[in-house]
């Protein structure tokens, strides 16, 4: 049964019919690349190439090209790794967790968010591979039988847990994303006018027909994948946090890290989704699908997770003081007043103050403000990881080892390389694949779209004895 | 697995609204018409039950694959670092079960997801290069398509066609796959 809510705002505006949904989304896939897309794509490929030179030098000449030293063994490499993995978590949250919570507003953003997850995890993986130094021996991280006596990996190390966690996360995310794509690829296949498109989308859609039996099984698969992905995403960033939490470094060795990192990941991930979706909805004319209600809902998640992150910062400071442990206390005094104080205060302003602005409805429902704040949040989250890693390492237990860290050109170039990967992949996705899940939007169209269109199209109403005109009446008595 | 449907003649009812379709399915079933399958652009809540399909066993498969993953992970780690080459790490037991938990969890999820999805694709005959048997290509756009196999129904084609139209079908067409 379908009941169009009288109080909830519609999730799809503009009086769309099912075929409108198909047309609006497929149009972007079927049209020739626009000038804007071409320019953006070429720009991201240039970044990829410039950054790629940095990656090549790092691989060939070694990690000595970075600004690392004996005291600061991790800096931009791991900061960037955690930053990208964190961003990836929003896609799974939107797809999986919001599905379990039956939040229909996820349907217009979940595909793009999942794509973002996959590309972000790929970027994170790039840093894992680069930071090994001898990347070509990377397979040594796997528990494979070998000729060293069979020397096995250390299963008690979070670094090995990461190998399994990130690989599983990437694989399951790709699978979840692709299964969701199949019905939409079939839609494009059935509309295709040129032979290459028909064959290509035909192969990609696996021969999907859309029968009720298949759909029933598809729904079971989606539900189970969502149920699996939810603890998966929570476990992945927990395991990443344990790279730090299971150590003995002051500022790292705290039990608050798992929930703190997970909340921070969702926080930065939603910010990145907002940044991407605000641009995409303008460029692809998707304002009727990604409405101000969607942006409003995402901003509420930002308030929630940003507040958790803020509380975590205060908790860390409190526990450092309350514990009486001088090493821990110094770690935090150094953070807010030592040589990296500017990084710490950037983190505090960007992450604690800016999301709190969304309590004000005017700001929360302003596209421009949301766009700016989403970028500020991501900058702040980068500084958070930088502060955690570098300030704790550069001054830990032995003062004679205290040094400063300075990034080199190759630290920057390798970061740029991952931006090149991310945006090139995202623009390819936006051009050749449907950015919105058409099937899911159609499934919520009757219950959550703007009133009027569906009732007018019905000749036989199966729900009540009222006349068509009576049913078309709005709350205030008008008949639109 | 999907039945072979070449050389069979089908009546294809085209519906434009999912509620009308649902009512039609119930009415046709009560009259005794055998419906081959209903095709839609999105999953319709309750349609599989109305058509008499049993609940999917994919969740059970997912559980079994997951259990395999758990077993695999624990067996692998116990053999490698407890039995084959035990090393003292952090002063802990040679069988540190708490340390094994993250990897055990990850492999459970991995095998469960991959196994269930593989089973899904196999059982629905979905693979790259498969040629779909479309009764009406608008079923992936905006129409709801009900396919009735004439050879498995005793009612005549005209009778079924009339019943479909009475229950709200916008069009009734014939379809035969070569």
Give every residue of chain A whose pLDDT is below 50, as ranges. Answer: 1, 453, 455-469, 471, 475, 480
Is the CB of residue B165 less than 8 Å away from at least one CB of chain A? no
Model pLDDT, residue A7 = 75
Is the CB of residue A139 less than 8 Å away from at least one CB of chain B? no
Note whether B139 contacts A220, CB cutoff 8 Å. no
Residue B28 in domain: yes
Residue B1 clears pLDDT 50, i.e. is over it: no
Please give, one letter per residue, the 3-state secondary structure of chain A: CCCCCCCCCCCECCCCCHHHHHHHHHHHHHCCCCHHHHHHHHHHHHHHHHHHHHHHHHHHHCHHHCCCCCCCCCCHHHHHHHHHHHHHHHHHHHHHHHHHCCCHHHHHCHHHHHHHHHHHHHHHHHHHHHHCCCHHHHHHHCCCCCCCCCCCCCCCCHHHHHHHHHHHHHHHHHHHHHHHHHHHHHHHHHHCCCHHHHHHHHHHCCCCCCEHHHHHHHHHHHHHHHHHHHHHHHHHHHHHHHHHHCCCCCCCCCCCHHHHHHHHHHHHHHHHHHHHHHHHHHHCCCCCCCCHHHHHHHHHHHHHHHHHHHHHHHHHHHHHHHHCCHHHHHHHHHHHHCCCHHHHHHHHHHHHHHHHHHHCHHHHCCHHHHHHHHHHHHHHHHHHHHHHHHHHHHCCCCHHHCCCCCCCHHHHHHHHHHHHHHHHHHHHHHHHCCCCCHHHHHHHHHHHECCCHHHHHCCCCCCCCCCHHHHHCCCCCCCC
Under 8 Å between Cβ of A335 and A374: no
Is the CB of residue B112 less than 8 Å away from at least one CB of chain A? yes
Residue B111 in domain: yes
Residue B142 in domain: yes
Question: Are B77 and B89 within one domain?
Answer: yes
Question: Are B65 and B104 within one domain?
Answer: yes
Closest partner residue to A164 (CB to CB) among B43, B87, B107 is: B107
Handedness of CA A426, A428, A430, A432 (dihedral sign): negative
Domain boundaries, chain A: 18-139+243-449
Question: Are B71 and B104 within one domain?
Answer: yes
Q: Is B55 helix (H, G, I), strand (E, B) or coil?
A: coil
Note whether A212 contacts B110, CB cutoff 8 Å. no
Question: Are B81 and B64 within one domain?
Answer: yes
Residue given tokens 């009540």 in the structure block = A464
Question: Are B41 and B20 within one domain?
Answer: yes
Closest partner residue to A156 (CB to CB) among B41, B53, B89 is: B89
Under 8 Å between Cβ of A365 and A292: yes
Model pLDDT, residue A243 = 97
Under 8 Å between Cβ of B160 and B33: yes
Residue B6 clears pLDDT 70, i.e. is over it: no
Is the CB of residue A149 less than 8 Å away from at least one CB of chain B? yes
Tokens of B123: 């059982």
Q: For A139-198, how does the pLDDT look when each residue is reduced to its tens digit (9 = 90+)?
A: 999 999 999 999 999 999 999 999 999 999 999 999 999 999 999 999 999 999 999 999
| Mean pLDDT of chain B, nearest integer | 93
Cβ neighbours of A305 (radius 10 Å): 24
**B144-149 vs B171-176, strand pairing mode:** unpaired
Tokens of A434: 């449907």
CA distances from A231 to A89, B106, B108 (A): 12, 10, 11
Closest Cα in chain B to A214: B124
Q: What is the number of domains present in chain B?
A: 2
Is the CB of residue A144 less than 8 Å away from at least one CB of chain B? no
Residue B172 in domain: yes
CA distances from A446 to A36, A450, A472 (A): 34, 9, 14
Q: State which residues form the domain around B79.
A: 58-123
Question: Are B113 and B146 within one domain?
Answer: no
CA distances from B54 to A392, A444, B49 (A): 58, 25, 7
Model pLDDT, residue A93 = 87
Closest partner residue to B168 (CB to CB) among A228, A231, A460 is: A460
Model pLDDT, residue A478 = 56
Question: Are B70 and B111 within one domain?
Answer: yes
CA distances from A311 to A240, A385, B17 (A): 20, 16, 50
Under 8 Å between Cβ of B163 and B29: no
Domain boundary among B102, B123, B144: B123
Residue B110 clears pLDDT 60, i.e. is over it: yes
ipTM surpassing 0.90: yes
Closest partner residue to A218 (CB to CB) among B43, B106, B139 is: B43
pTM over 0.95? The answer is: no
Q: Which residues pair with B147 in a beta bridge?
A: B12, B37
Distance between A51 CA and the closest CA of chain B, angstroms? 32
**B171-176 vs B35-39, strand pairing mode:** unpaired
Model pLDDT, residue A2 = 58
Residue B129 in domain: no
């Amino acid at each position: 049964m379908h009941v169009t809510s009288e109080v909830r705002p519609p999730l799809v505006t503009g009086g769309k019919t099912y075929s409108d949904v198909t047309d609006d989304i497929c149009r972007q896939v079927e049209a020739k690349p626009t000038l804007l897309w071409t320019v953006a794509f070429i720009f991201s490929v240039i970044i990829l190439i410039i950054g790629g030179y940095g990656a090549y030098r790092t691989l060939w000449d070694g990690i000595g090209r970075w600004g690392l030293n004996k005291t600061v063994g991790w800096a931009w490499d791991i900061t960037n790794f955690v930053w990208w993995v964190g961003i990836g978590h929003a896609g799974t949250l939107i797809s999986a967790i919001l599905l379990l919570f039956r939040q229909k507003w996820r349907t217009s953003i979940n595909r793009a968010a999942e794509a973002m997850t996959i590309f972000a995890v790929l970027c994170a993986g790039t840093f894992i591979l680069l930071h090994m130094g001898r990347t070509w021996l990377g397979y040594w991280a796997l528990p494979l039988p070998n000729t060293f006596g069979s020397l096995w990996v250390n299963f008690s190390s979070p670094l090995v847990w990461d190998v399994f966690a990130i690989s599983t996360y990437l694989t399951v995310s790709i699978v979840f994303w692709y299964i969701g794509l199949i019905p939409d690829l079939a839609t494009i296949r059935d509309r295709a006018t040129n032979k290459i498109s028909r064959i290509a989308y035909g192969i990609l859609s696996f021969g999907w027909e859309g029968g009720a039996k298949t759909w029933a099984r598809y729904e079971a698969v989606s539900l189970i994948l969502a149920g699996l992905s939810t603890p998966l995403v929570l476990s992945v960033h927990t395991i990443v946090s344990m790279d730090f939490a299971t150590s003995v470094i002051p500022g790292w060795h705290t039990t608050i890290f798992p929930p703190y990192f997970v909340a921070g990941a969702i926080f930065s991930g939603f910010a990145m989704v907002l940044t991407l979706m605000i641009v995409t909805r303008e460029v692809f004319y998707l304002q009727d699908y990604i409405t101000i209600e969607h942006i409003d809902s995402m901003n509420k998640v930002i308030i929630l997770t940003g507040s958790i992150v803020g509380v975590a910062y205060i908790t860390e400071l409190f526990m450092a003081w309350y514990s009486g442990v001088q090493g821990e206390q110094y770690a935090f005094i150094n953070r807010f007043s030592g040589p990296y104080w500017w990084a710490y205060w950037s983190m505090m302003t960007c992450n604690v103050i800016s999301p709190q602005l969304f309590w004000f409805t005017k700001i929360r429902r302003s596209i421009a403000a949301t766009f700016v704040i989403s970028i500020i949040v991501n900058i702040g989250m980068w500084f958070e990881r930088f502060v955690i890693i570098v300030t704790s390492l550069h001054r830990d237990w032995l003062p004679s080892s205290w040094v400063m860290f300075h990034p080199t050109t190759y630290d920057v170039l390798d970061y740029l390389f991952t931006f090149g990967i991310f945006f090139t992949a995202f623009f390819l996705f936006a051009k050749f694949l449907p950015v919105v899940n058409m099937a899911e939007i159609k499934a919520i169209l009757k219950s959550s779209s703007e009133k009027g269109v569906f009732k007018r199209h019905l000749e036989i109403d199966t729900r009540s004895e009222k006349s068509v005109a009576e049913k078309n009446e709005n709350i205030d008595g008008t008949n639109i | 697995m999907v039945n072979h449907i070449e050389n069979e003649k089908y009546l294809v009812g085209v519906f434009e609204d999912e509620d009308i379709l649902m009512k039609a399915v119930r009415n046709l079933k009560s009259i005794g018409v055998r419906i081959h399958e209903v095709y839609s652009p999105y999953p319709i809540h309750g349609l599989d039950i109305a058509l008499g399909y049993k609940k999917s066993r994919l969740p059970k498969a997912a559980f079994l694959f997951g259990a395999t993953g758990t077993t695999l992970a624990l067996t692998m780690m116990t053999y490698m670092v407890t039995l084959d080459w035990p090393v003292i790490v952090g002063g802990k037991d040679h069988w540190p079960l708490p340390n094994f938990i993250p990897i055990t969890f990850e492999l459970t999820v991995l095998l469960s997801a991959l196994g269930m999805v593989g089973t899904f694709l196999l059982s629905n005959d979905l693979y790259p290069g498969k040629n779909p048997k479309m009764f009406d290509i608008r079923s992936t756009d905006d129409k709801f398509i009900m396919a009735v196999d004439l050879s498995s129904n005793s009612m005549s084609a005209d009778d079924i066609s009339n019943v479909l139209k009475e229950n709200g079908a916008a069009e009734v067409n014939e379809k035969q796959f070569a």
